[in-house]
Amino acid sequence: MSNIVNSRSFKCSLDAAKRAFYHSANAIFRKIGRIASEEVTLQLIQSKSVPLLLYGLEAGPLNKSQLNSLDFVINRFFMKLFVTSDRNIVENCQEKFGFMLLSSLLEKRKKKFEIKYKSNCDMYI
């Protein structure tokens, strides 16, 4: 879902992935509104929207500002869901519901991808 950007080094734009996440998350909010519990909403977002945001990102390099940009998307979502702008409340809610920041989740996915890639490469040597 990311696009390659003209740059001196390899770089991808995350705009399309973030747009897909927001589109999906807003569609979920439109359908269930505030009727469903926070747990249900978070589970739907985790299973339907987050994969749209992270698709294929473990294969390429991301700089610190891009990782912060991904975390910002999740933080803003939590601010909307829990109707707050307090960063401490957002962090507490993320911890309570076991919702990892995308930078941490992506780091785990990258390690898994590298192990799988290395084992596949070793098969052909």
pLDDT tens by residue, 57-68: 877 788 899 999
Name the more confident of 7 and 49: 49
Q: Is 108 exposed, middle or buried (0-12, 13-18, 19+ CB in 10 A)?
A: exposed
pLDDT tens by residue, 92-119: 999 999 998 888 888 888 888 778 777 7
Q: Got the DSSP string for 3-64?
A: EE--SSS--EE-HHHHHHHHHHHHHHHHHHTTTS-HHHHHHHIIIIIHHHHHTTGGGS---H
Domain residue extents for the chain: 3-123
